[in-house]
Structure 1
């Protein structure tokens, strides 16, 4: 669609630099018109006409420069009035001029039409050229002073028309490009306000919706072999996140080919792609579609796509804008992922990748408060590797590190995903067991001890090494009352278990091990 706004709105700070040279040209033309006023060979009427016409051109040119054209930028309703006034004035001037001076009218006409295209816009300028040409042709047989061949005026007007249409189209292109850059800037400012992925996706879609009109749009991120639509909007309604397969879909084509795709007429263009897109959201088929990968450093994160229920809704400029937005989105999503990974690592032990001491305490406080409110049980196991210093001395610290990571893997196999595993410090670990009573906690501890007993590890030099045994102390919140006393009670029992010869479990009073013979077998002590 062609813009109706004048080019001047793109050049707010440059208007004076455009108008001033044009005003001096018009002033020079006015001085040329004034020359006959001082020619004594002409009669008084001709001299007076030249004096009035030249003075009017000079005065009106500076009036346009100082007030009229700047005012038209603020009050669009004045543009047509200015154009018609320019027509009337130039037509009257043309009728008054004679001889060689009449050529000045050509200069003023071309100059005025160019300024009109810049400051008044396309349609007032076209109307100006058309009305002036029509008036000139009407006056030609009535005014003997019009000595130039009559075909000169429409020919020059036609040339001016095409030149100014070209100028207006350049302005349209510049305007679209500036809007493109402004949209990207808005997106960049909007999405840089957060580094949380969920909030980021919502901000992305809000910014895209503002920049490009579409019935459907979505942001999809890779999730294994599936595409997770983190935010999906269709026909005025937001849908919850959903996972869709990539195979045989438009999104899959974009991501597999690593290139953007623009389909102006979806039913007509789709057969050439060899895909069979599925319908999600509203049961209403899209007729135009475009999508682009969200990629950074040759790593694809997902896709940004839009669709419309109308054909030919999007063009190449829209696709380029979508690509620019996707580049901005990729940078911010990558930063969000990196921030999330750093934040995650700050909560984990670097060697074993379980929760560190501080994060475990935070979860302990959170779960103890919830347990007191919900009146559900909460168990805690404090676990320590037996004779770990001697193990390091015998097999080396690398083997010791490997033993700890293998121990963590064994513990994970024997607890639930909802349980919390943390490294309390050194070779000591803590296991928080929500909704677990003392007897159930004892069963977990038994399973861990049996699994550790039967496990061996292979050192870096290929030797088979035993995994060191562990001692465990158990406590439940119902007997401790507070999180601090719960830790203290489990820790005391851990030391009692170690004092009994290692590879032992010290449960709360009244709790028996289902493997009690193992618990008392001295051969199991390391």
Structure 2
């Protein structure tokens, strides 16, 4: 073989080896990068006890890592609630009704995914005739992959993924990422749920008194740092003792639960509605001035007044009195001063006829 031809073949072989070596290096670098991301994500999730922001982090981690068009997080809201609901969804139009999709905890699909908690392609699951009923329920989500979130022996939820925006198939390494993410997410969801249970009133599902006091201190500090408005509402169900004497304490409990639900449904995700004690509810309204706080209180008063509370024979009605106060660092030297002003306004609402909103304009 001529020396020139030998050199060319040798150079070509060396170049091929170099190209293969570079690909291997890039592949290892990619794995190290993904592993670092996963570790950072795991640390972030495990340190986040705020349920809503935790679920949001899980959802956007999937979208950001895989460039997906749709993601749904299906969760069991509380340990003592049997059904799994859509808690958060991204990539669907405004007409999408997430309340339509509910899976019961004893459904064949959830049982199968709990026994085999690994990412599963939707089309492959559809080949199992025992699961088609549940899967048809999920078909409107246009799912591509379903990833179970299982912690210990508990299936805490499902991550339901659509297709990649690039049109490419999900790769094996991406499925590995999702599997690891789901493990972190399941533990984080469980921890957050336990934290919520410790901070929520069991009857009303509003925050407990102690949590309200702690958060008010935090929000006052945040208001001072950012020079942002902060308002609180104190409220009390009118003539509640008389209501209990007339209809019984069980009926009174129904009213408390239903009124609390109306409070939750008519406040923002950043607000902190709490059961202050007995039939008294309180709300912390971050980044809210007095005018906006009064409007929220008026809406709550109207919603409660117009609501038909379930009774044994006929619907029942109750009203509430509300007091509103905005934090003023010149006169509110601590949380007690702010609470005292809102409380004083609430009692003025009661003294002036009840079923009213009164603001303390200090």
TM-score using structure 2 length:
0.54
Partner of residue 493, structure 1 = 345
Out of 427, 430, 444, which is 2:296 matched to? 444
Partner of residue 307, structure 1 = 172
Out of 330, 347, 363, which is 2:215 matched to? 363
Residues 340 and 502 from structure 1, CA distance in 2 versus in 1: closer, same or farther, beyond 3 angstroms? same
Q: 2:205 is paired with a residue of what secondary structure?
A: coil
Does residue 1:375 correspond to 2:202, yes or no?
Answer: no
C-alpha distance in 2, partners of 1:473/1:303? 44
Does residue 1:198 correspond to 2:45, yes or no?
Answer: yes
C-alpha distance in 2, partners of 1:487/1:246? 42
Residues 252 and 410 from structure 1, CA distance in 2 versus in 1: closer, same or farther, beyond 3 angstroms? same
Residues 439 and 458 from structure 1, CA distance in 2 versus in 1: closer, same or farther, beyond 3 angstroms? same
Residues 397 and 302 from structure 1, CA distance in 2 versus in 1: closer, same or farther, beyond 3 angstroms? same
Q: 1:465 is paired with a residue of what secondary structure?
A: coil
Does residue 1:473 correspond to 2:323, yes or no?
Answer: yes
Q: 2:353 is paired with a residue of what secondary structure?
A: coil
Contact 1:196 1:336 (C-alpha < 8 Å) held by counterparts: no
Q: 2:200 is paired with a residue of what secondary structure?
A: coil
Structure number with greater Rg is: 1
How far apart are residue 298 of structure 1 and its match?
9.6
Q: 1:340 is paired with a residue of what secondary structure?
A: helix
Contact 1:367 1:434 (C-alpha < 8 Å) held by counterparts: yes
C-alpha distance in 1, partners of 2:288/2:71? 42
How far apart are residue 197 of structure 1 and its match?
7.8
How far apart are residue 335 of structure 1 and its match?
4.5
Contact 2:276 2:282 (C-alpha < 8 Å) held by counterparts: yes
Partner of residue 346, structure 1 = 198
How far apart are residue 294 of structure 1 and its match?
4.6
C-alpha distance in 1, partners of 2:306/2:71? 44
Bigger relative CO (Cα 8 Å, ≥ 6 apart): 2
Residues 443 and 298 from structure 1, CA distance in 2 versus in 1: closer, same or farther, beyond 3 angstroms? closer
| Residue ranges of structure 1 left out of the alignment (5+ in a row) | 1-189, 201-222, 233-238, 259-276, 279-290, 310-318, 511-526
Question: What pairs with 1:77-96 in structure 2 (closer than 5 Å)?
Answer: none
Contact 1:229 1:241 (C-alpha < 8 Å) held by counterparts: no
Contact 1:438 1:475 (C-alpha < 8 Å) held by counterparts: yes
1:84-128 CA-to-partner distances (Å, cap 9, x unmatched) read: xxxxxxxxxxxxxxxxxxxxxxxxxxxxxxxxxxxxxxxxxxxxx
C-alpha distance in 2, partners of 1:345/1:417? 18
Partner of residue 252, structure 1 = 122
Residues 429 and 332 from structure 1, CA distance in 2 versus in 1: closer, same or farther, beyond 3 angstroms? same
Residues 245 and 434 from structure 1, CA distance in 2 versus in 1: closer, same or farther, beyond 3 angstroms? closer
Contact 2:59 2:71 (C-alpha < 8 Å) held by counterparts: no
C-alpha distance in 2, partners of 1:308/1:455? 53
Q: Which range moved further: 477-486 or 330-339?
A: 330-339
Does residue 1:388 correspond to 2:240, yes or no?
Answer: yes
Question: What pairs with 1:70-219 in structure 2 (closer than 5 Å)?
Answer: 198-199=45-46
How far apart are residue 443 of structure 1 and its match?
2.1
How far apart are residue 388 of structure 1 and its match?
0.8
TM-score using structure 1 length:
0.39
C-alpha distance in 2, partners of 1:396/1:374? 47
RMSD value, Cα: 4.3
Contact 1:255 1:303 (C-alpha < 8 Å) held by counterparts: no
Count of residue correspondences: 242
| Residue ranges of structure 2 left out of the alignment (5+ in a row) | 1-37, 48-54, 73-118, 129-142, 162-169
How far apart are residue 398 of structure 1 and its match?
2.0
Residues 502 and 369 from structure 1, CA distance in 2 versus in 1: closer, same or farther, beyond 3 angstroms? same
How far apart are residue 357 of structure 1 and its match?
1.1
Greater share of residues in helix: 1
